[in-house]
Copies of this chain bind each other. A is one copy, B any other.
Amino acid sequence: MNTLAEENYLKSIYHLSLNTESVSTNQLAALLNTKASSVTDMLKKLAEKELINYIPYQGVTLTASGEKIAVNIIRKHRLWEFFLVEKLSFKWDEVHEMAEEMEHISSNELIDRLDKFMGYPKYDPHGDPIPDCEGKFKTHDLKPVSAVNINTDGIICGVRDHSVAFLQYLEKQELTIGKKITVTDIIEFDHSMILQMENKTIQISREVANSLLITL
């Protein structure tokens, strides 16, 4: 159907589209660790296949069929991550690279059965929503901890930074999905925050607070 490279481009365009209206060549080059000229070549190919709307110099958006493919790849990625953590006991910081390969296994029947086998999970190990077999999913209303006021509490439901370093840090602090926290104080000087957890109090930096997402 589509090559591995094409799938990775579509997925990247999808992710970048969540923040900006139209995605630029340089944004893609940065995310895909490639050069702008390589991106241009691929954009022409994807436009030819009508998977993206491409206006030279003006950036790209996904067409309906391009988006469908992108969401399906993300569904596969997140279901495999769930499988690796829930069934094979990997930690949440270990699964992304493996899922990058597994998301390209082509069979949809396989992924639908995997979904069923795991009981149709709604969120992956990082709190990201898993699209169902129709491509539908709902994001819950998330806020970075850095955006809430003193004495607000919430449940950790996601992260903005998926790096191994960040995930390992959170794990160590027990700041994992599902945990309840209350912001008890904010240090004016550097905006670090004091969090009250079930069994302890910890302090986190502004950077961490920015990348830790909660529901109120």
Q: Are B87 and A117 in contact (CB under 8 A)?
A: yes
| Chain B residues closer than 8 Å to A90, beta-carbon distance | 113
Number of copies: 2
Interface positions of A from 96 to 131, Cβ below 8 Å from B: 97-98, 101-102, 104-107, 110, 113-114, 117
Q: How far is the CA of A88 from the CA of B113 in the complex (A)?
A: 6
A89 interface contact, C-beta 8 A: yes
Question: A113 to chain B: which residues have CB within 8 Å?
Answer: 88-90
Instruction: Check: A84 CB closer than 8 A to any chain B CB.
Output: yes
A88 engages B102 (CB within 8 Å): no
Contact of A105 among B89, B101, B114, B117 (CB under 8 A): B101
Question: Which residues of B have CB within 8 Å of A106?
Answer: 101
**A105 close to B110 (CB less than 8 A):** no
Tell me which residues across on chain B come within 8 A of A88, comparing CB atoms: 110, 113-114, 117
Write the A82-98 contact mask toward B (1 if CB under 8 angstroms, else 0). 00100111100000011
User: Taking the nearest CB of chain B, how far is it from the CB of A5, in angstroms?
Assistant: 13
A157-181 contacts to B (CB < 8 Å): none
Among A88, A90, A98, A102, the one with the most B-chain Cβ atoms within 10 Å of its Cβ is A88
CB-defined contacts of A97 to chain B, threshold 8 Å: 107
A84 to B105, CA, bound (A): 13
- B107–A98 CB distance below 8 A: yes
Closest to A116 in B: B88
Across the two chains, which residue of chain B brings its CB closest to A97?
Answer: B107
Which chain B residue has the least Cβ–Cβ distance from A104?
B101
Q: Smallest Cβ distance from A54 to chain B, in angstroms?
A: 29
* A105 vs B76: C-alpha distance when bound (angstroms): 14
Q: Which of A89, A105, A110 is the most central at the interface, judged by chain B CB atoms within 10 Å of its CB?
A: A110
Name the residue on B nearest A113 (C-beta): B88
Contact partners of A104 in chain B: CB under 8 A: 101
**Given A88-B110, A98-B107, list of 8 further CB < 8 A pairs?**
A84-B110, A87-B117, A88-B117, A90-B113, A97-B107, A98-B110, A101-B105, A101-B106
